[in-house]
Structure 1
């Protein structure tokens, strides 16, 4: 399958063991099948002036793939909590540990993790969720409003060996696609706020009651 990696860097060399632990699924090489999303991600940083999309081919035959689209939303949130904090309080640290223990899954065996990308809109939801302001019944709908997009994260040496660089680099105009990224995020936040403030949000089955 063809996948794309958006980056401010013109030269990208996927290397096992690199990456930030505080990314959605920890260290790894992140890609998407959506070319337009890759373009937005290439220039989503406010200080960027240009970006590039790099094209790859991933042979998934024989790879162990953990797919969060086949799991419930709490499972995905627990994975993010392993790597990214939604709050700095002791309350959050204690409850997050219990939440992960209850809803988390072991993904350490996976060569590739497939799931949503937690962009800036996600943190708006996550912070509201851990403050007990969001009922679980509307959580999945909130995530869909964010237009998070699906990403593939290579985790193992085997996965990297199955990745082929197609040597195709697509320049990305910063002004066009950074504006699209910000517009998507702004629209998502407005729609999310409206849903959180609506009667559909019963605020009964909330973060602290789920652990």
Structure 2
């Protein structure tokens, strides 16, 4: 039995992971989202501007017999295609038309997986995504840009089997101070955006192999 420890940051003290629930517009669609990084979980617990302390719930996931799709092992374009299925990076007609073609070309069928593992599309990601679909970013610097964003790795529990193998560690429940970790969340985003803009404006961004040329 191979168990991994994961954390879920939220404003709720009581959480019951339930198959079939979750937001369709989250990164990987409906599911229950966790991370292996407790510090990121603390930031995510207070990422909503509602001025309240948050909670980090600790879980153990038995990964035996689970099919896990790891986007870190795939092309970054496949990850972007998965996000395009669920998240709106831009609301223009051009984007709606081109994103469908992009998904058809680079998307992965995720329906057979129990768990999806990959980067989390935080606020700074949307800056990259919008510039990318506007043809302002060369594919050669895309992966480096995403690494600058400090996008944490998350796990999305998708299947009924995966939910059955997820158990909360009750004594692992932690209270999260809003002021301290909201500031850390904001500083991470501000710093990431500054580094990203510097790279986008640098000579490394050739702006030749751009979004529309990949279709």
Q: TM-score range by the shorter chain?
A: over 0.9
Report what 1:177 is aligned to.
181
Q: Quick one: distance in 2 between partners of 1:22 and 1:10?
A: 23
The alignment's TM-score, normalised by the length of structure 2, stands at: 0.97
**Within 5 A, what are the aligned runs for 1:35-74?**
35-74=38-77
Shift of 1:165: 1.0
Deviation at 1:158, TM superposition (A): 0.2
Alignment of 1:67-82 (within 5 A): 67-82=70-85
- Map 1:153-172 to 2 at 5 A: 153-167=156-170, 168-172=172-176
Distance 1:22 1:87 in 2: 14
The two structures have a TM-score, normalised by structure 1, of 0.99
Deviation, 1:48, is 3.5
Distance in 1 of aligned mates of 2:89 and 2:47: 20
**Dislocated runs of 4+, deviation >2 Å:** none
Is 1:94 matched up with 2:97? yes
| Residues 107-163 of structure 1 deviation map (CA, whole Å, 9 limit, x = unaligned) | 110000000000000000000000000000000000000000100000000000000
Matches within 5 A, 1:1-211: 1-167=4-170, 168-211=172-215
Structural RMSD (CA):
0.5
The alpha-carbon deviation at position 103 of structure 1 amounts to 0.5
Unaligned runs of 5+ residues in structure 1 are: none
Say if 1:75 and 1:104, in contact at 8 Å, map to a contact too. Answer: yes
